[in-house]
Structure 1
């Protein structure tokens, strides 16, 4: 497969970055929301740098979507990311799991001079920020959809007497230093599907699963689509085994175009959709011990 650079940096992201540099002057706590499946690729260091300039701001990292990630890997990432300045909380914001712990962590920074803790919620697109805020608020005050780019402006919301939050649009950065970051973000749904080639991303997703020494993740995918170990091993002799696997899955699932040929693009989109929804199993794409 030929590789192509994936980038998505619409105008509202540039505007948000500029406005955020001013807004942080009013912030007491920064909550950085990461995708538990890709804790490194989902970290926007442009945002981290803005917060780093304000040493008085307290830090919390939320590993969200833990229901879709390998629980053992999530625990390893918590150990890796936690330090004396940063508390790490695992969360499934869609079900409200971890919200109580987050509220308590935010309120722990409430001193005698602060009546309301002003809290910045930041992260990449489609990482669950709006859903998290709705869970904090106990009601649906923000539109939350399972697609990137829904929130487009900064806005303050009162959660309760002790917490107000600054919701921010999901922000990426102008150019990914490593093309694999683009593939990770595309696979998990942080980038609009219209921006990238789904066949190429599905190919890279399968290649990633097969790259691990422990084969449990690639085996989950094979089992999900009814591919035997023998069938997969036979494909290894092909010039492009991961592309051949996509074609085989398309045939098995009757994803065919006119003439009975496998529909590689329909299959690729199904592979990505199933992974994002957790139907392939709880798979973390970035392993803590590989870093």
Structure 2
């Protein structure tokens, strides 16, 4: 039996469908779609086991990276703007260019603020005629306006952010992550435990050289095999088959019949001798 175990949405079920040559298990882009253990027979000697995804907690991975890495289902994301900022900082092509968003002027930005959308913090001076710098909220607001996503008379930034993240999860927004510049290996837990035990009282420890156990009697001494130890008849290849058992029964019956004939033979010859 071969079991497929790993993170959610990495292709475990898709691999099983490929090995089986057809769709035998359900596949969906949503993480955690497989919820039960499924066993499938590939051939006479091979069995495949599809299991639900396992999420291992990683404190050194930010939540935004877990969302983009599909470890957290999109339906459980309360606000998409942090994850969109994470993608904006690592996108191969600027996100507003991939989404074909038009530049936003200062007048349009002020209109968004009047509608209650803080699309950009005005903590620095911006030129009146130039385009506004992009922020996650401004990208979502412009995306919503160009696609008619409106809620309560203003652009629905939440719906827009969810659609943008869906594009990212589908692989339509390429991004790259640089490798870490340094690596600090973790101290093995076993060494820490040994150091802690070294500081404690070690009187309970026993020196193997000072302790000698008495020789034990071997019940199998003098026996040539385990069958003799347990008082069983040795068995050869095929001794447990139906045919061999029938032959043993016939042999026992034949031996019993021969013993009966041997016992009856002296009694039959005694009158002739007299």
Q: Which has the higher contact order (CA 8 A, sep 6+)?
A: 1
Q: TM-score, normalised by structure 1?
A: 0.46
TM-score w.r.t. the length of structure 2 is: 0.49
**Counting strand residues as a fraction of each chain, which structure ranks higher?**
1
